[in-house]
Amino acid sequence: MSSNIAGKVVVLTGASAGLGQATARHLSALGATVVLGARRADRINALAAEINAQGGKALAIVTDVTQFAQVQNLVDTAVKTYGRIDVMLNNAGLMPHSPLERQKVADWDQMVDVNIKGVLYGIGAALPHMKAQMAGHIINVSSVAGHKVRPGSAVYAATKAAVLMFSEGLRQEVKPYNIRTTVISPGAIDTDLPTSISEADVAENIKKFYDEYAIPAGSFARVVEFAMSQPPEVDINEVLFRPTRQEL
């Protein structure tokens, strides 16, 4: 059991796969209570059952982060069930890369709705509880793409740059309430993320890149652990990390 993690109530969005799933397992093994939000009931129910069977504490709540009422329900149910919320991990996201000239308007809309508005909704839902507690930790997931744009990644990069920017605004706003804020920007990690790409040629290139460079999801979970496990007076505001071999 790691100090500053055991007993904490952690709400995670996008917990059905990839980084969210790996982090739920990792934090649970360190003694945290995890509240799993995602759209796919079968997957989060199975993950909650697995964690509970191993002696952990997990609750699954079907949540589409594009619906504020559902995100509020996720957070409010966590607080009703466990009495508090210590960490809100706004992780759900998707990355349907394509050049702008292909007019993938539905993909643009979805990235704005999930990657930007979904994170804002998580912040909005968690803040009233954290203010009342005079404690809490909001962790938002950006990306290396929030720092560097490439052809084909314009919209995704813009959504991740937005997360960096409003996370810094949030950091300053919540000073009076003793709330910590962290934004994590990972490089290529081996998850289902590239499957959100709908253009075949773009998907093939990204797959090659991930096959060559991607590192396991545990790398991200350990960064969350690092930020969470600091003593209360230490606020890790930003972590940018990549596979050692990743150049860009």
CA distance 236 to 234: 6
Q: Does 182 bind ligand NAD (CB under 6 A)?
A: no
CB under 6 A: which stretch of 100-108, 125-133, 173-181, 182-190 binds ligand NAD? 182-190
Among 4, 29, 39, 218, contact with ligand NAD (rule: CB under 6 A): 39
Q: Kindly write down the DSSP assignment for every residue of 63-130, as one continuous string.
A: --TT-HHHHHHHHHHHHHHHS---EEEE---------GGG--HHHHHHHIIIIIIHHHHHHHHHHHHH
CA distance 204 to 5: 39
List residues with catalytic annotation. Answer: 156
Dihedral (CA of 3, 224, 30, 172) sign: positive
Q: Does 125 bind ligand NAD (CB under 6 A)?
A: no
Compute the CA torsion angle 197, 11, 33, 135 (nearest 10 deg).
140
Which amino acid belongs to residue 67? Q
Q: Does 19 bind ligand NAD (CB under 6 A)?
A: yes
Residue ranges in 191-230 that form contacts with ligand NAD under rule CB under 6 A: 191-193
Q: Site for ligand NAD (CB under 6 A): how many residues?
A: 27
Kindly tell me which of 32 and 119 has the beta carbon lying closer to ligand NAD: 119
Residue ranges in 95-124 that form contacts with ligand NAD under rule CB under 6 A: 95, 114
Among 14, 96, 136, 243, contact with ligand NAD (rule: CB under 6 A): 14
Kindly tell me which of 14 and 56 has the beta carbon lying closer to ligand NAD: 14
CA distance 36 to 47: 8
CA distance 24 to 33: 9
Kindly tell me which of 127 and 193 has the beta carbon lying closer to ligand NAD: 193
Residue ranges in 40-99 that form contacts with ligand NAD under rule CB under 6 A: 63-66, 91-95
Q: Does 17 bind ligand NAD (CB under 6 A)?
A: yes
Residue 37's H or E segment, with its range, is strand 33-38
CB under 6 A: which stretch of 48-56, 76-84, 164-172, 185-193 binds ligand NAD? 185-193
CB of 19 closer than 8 Å to CB of 217? yes
Kindly tell me which of 3 and 214 has the beta carbon lying closer to ligand NAD: 214
Q: Does 141 bind ligand NAD (CB under 6 A)?
A: yes
Kindly tell me which of 111 and 174 has the beta carbon lying closer to ligand NAD: 111
CB of 240 closer than 8 Å to CB of 219? no
Contacts with ligand NAD by CB under 6 A lie at 13-14, 16-20, 38-39, 63-66, 91-95, 114, 141, 143, 186, 188-189, 191-193
